[in-house]
A and B are shown apart, each in its own frame.
Chain A
Amino acid sequence: MIVEVKSVSKTYDNGVEALRDVNLAFPQGQLTTLLGPSGCGKTTLLKIIAGLIPRNAGEVRVKGKVVDGPGPERAFVFQDFALLPWADVLRNVAFGLELRGVARPEREEVARRYIAEVGLGGFEHRYPAQLSGGMRQRVGLARALTVDADIILMDEPFSSVDEQTRRKFQEDLLDLLRHHRKTVIFVTHSIEEAAYLSDQIALLSPRPGTVSRMVKPDVDRRKTADEIRRDRGYLDTVDEIWHILRRYV
């Protein structure tokens, strides 16, 4: 277990109880989805794991060590991309390394490699405003990959990406992350997305968020994307999750 969340609770200053006694374990090299209705605290939980917001109780262990802030073994992909509008794709992707003080030629070489990997080769000198939502999120993903963190935390990365782009992006993402053997923690509110992408799915109940069920989709990952979408195990997983979640909506 590369990441462990133990009895984590969070109550915001305005009195809203977002999470209550959450326990979760994330196996190395797997993609775990945090799935639940809006307001169930899934983004809060992800940001607590990232060390971006403090928790009120419990602990988060990464590789066995308790963490209280961001660390080099975790990289975050933001829902709104969080790109610097005044910087081109190359500088944005290299920005994580720039903050770590890596020399310019070196960090740009690494950045170029990942820009090509996420399929943005040739767009190095475009600015975020000149890119579509899907391309911007690829920049965000490339930036997270450059710092070579073992754990990638993704906060609804496809929610501002249109449907057609999203499918292609999901397929590319799976290939890329499996290839690099990353551990991924992924927040989404889309059941299909969760069933398609995940090795395991943590279902969160609404406020205060707790883990109500763990689901392991029975999907053969060697199949192609189109086969998976017609796969019995995939469709059963979608059904099973829907039967649990419909109680909350």
Chain B
Amino acid sequence: MTASAGQRLWQLASFLLFFGLWELAGRWPLSAAFPPFSTTFLAFVEMLRDGSLGKAYLITAQPLGLGILLCALAGIGFGIGMGLSRPIEWLSLPIFIILQAAPMAAIIPLLTYMYGIGLTSKVLAVIMLAAPVIVMNSYKGIRNTPPSLLQMCRSFQGTRRQEVLKIVLPHAAALIFTGLRLGLAMGFIGIVIAELLITPTGIGDLITYHSSVADYPKMFAAIASIVAVAAISLHLLERLERRLFP
């Protein structure tokens, strides 16, 4: 599956087309609040230079990292528990199915009533979005163990402990990792919603502030940067995943 030179050329052309159209639309102009790509890019470089972008990401990364870490520890544990034990499955499956279907933007403001506007609320926002997919993937990874592998283990008098450690968990590892990647994708959505809806901090602050002072190039640069950061980190994780679980 190596990308051929032709494939790379088309991918490059796709980016050029996108940024070209953006440039045109900005110069036309589509709206006074829509800057062309070049102006946005310059604003981006300036924000990099004056350190405001870096500072914003340091702040945003805290609730995002903390939330994903907690999901990785508790969520995977929970998913594995649900996959291995029927009572845990019956108890918690409905909760996660409801969480997966719930429109989170409507629920996140409720968090401020309970936990204020601090770090806790933002971490919780990330968890509420990321946890369902992490838990469900771990759970499905456990449940989808091929029955013949389990029978094979039993036919050689493997214990339940060996069955879990040597067959069920290694088999689930790939799906669990996919769950983490999808969880991070949801986490990015969660943290941006939280930083826009709860209190403007980090990248949410940059977007809100520059929008309020009508510095649209910087506002767009902030938005484009979070899109790029999310896309690149998810892409890298996907490549890592393909190397770990071919």
Interface residues of A (CB under 8 A from B): 47, 50-52, 69-72, 74-76, 78-80, 82, 84, 86, 95-96, 98-100, 147
Contacts and interface: CB of A to CB of B under 8 A. Distances in A.
A99 B157 CA distance: 7
Interface of B: 146, 148-149, 151-158, 162, 166-167, 170-171
Contacts of A78: 148, 151-152
Contacts of B158: 99
Contacts of B148: 78-80, 82
A52 B155 contact: yes
A147 B155 CA distance: 11
Secondary structure of the A side of the interface? loop
A99 B170 contact: no
B155 A50 contact: yes
B162 A99 contact: yes
B152 A82 contact: yes
Contacts of A98: 166
9 contacts: A52-B155, A74-B155, A75-B156, A82-B149, A84-B149, A86-B171, A99-B153, A100-B156, A147-B156
Ranked 5 nearest A-B pairs via Cβ: A82-B152, A76-B155, A96-B156, A99-B158, A82-B148
Contacts of B146: 80, 82
Contacts of B167: 84
A69 B154 CA distance: 9
A56 B167 CA distance: 29
Contact of A99 (B149, B151, B156, B171): B156
Nearest to B149: A82
Contacts of B155: 50-52, 70, 74-76
A151 B171 CA distance: 29
